[in-house]
Amino acid sequence: MSAEPLGTVLVAEDDLFLRPRIQSDLERAGWTALFAPSAERFRAGLAAGPRVILVNLASRSMPFRALLDEARTAAPGVPVVGYGPHVDAALFEAARAAGCHAVVPNGAIAKSAPQIVAQALAGER
């Protein structure tokens, strides 16, 4: 007997290094992880009704500002958590200014994705 999934987490991620860790942690915690390695797949993922959106701020193929704009339009009210290199304070500040509900380092998302998703749903920053 399997438990009902907690919902979908849309992950805008084109880095093959981070994906397996994020996916296994989210799925082990009961989430359905929907990965979008391109802007087109991100748009399609928004239609799936995600409860939380995770965005790799350092993606070379998907500018995070454009993704945030699309998320605000297609999924208003859904929390968006950005993540990126911990040494890039300017990137973190730009992501907050662009509308990310929270911004965390890559190491945190790789180690604690389910907890970060829960905090985003609870409105914690």
64-74 and 89-98 helices cross at what angle (nearest 10)?
A: 20
Question: What pLDDT, on the 0 to 100 scale, is given for residue 5?
Answer: 75
Question: What pLDDT, on the 0 to 100 scale, is given for residue 109?
Answer: 94
Question: What pLDDT, on the 0 to 100 scale, is given for residue 60?
Answer: 85
**How much is the pTM?**
0.93
Partnered with residue 118 across adjacent β-strands are: none
> For 7-121, which CATH class?
alpha beta
CA distance 83 to 56: 5
Ranges of the chain whose pLDDT falls below 70:
1-4, 124-125
Closest CA to 49 of 7, 107, 11: 7
C-alpha distances in Å from residue 44, one per residue of 35, 48, 96, 125:
10, 7, 24, 27
Question: What pLDDT, on the 0 to 100 scale, is given for residue 3?
Answer: 62
CA distance 75 to 100: 13
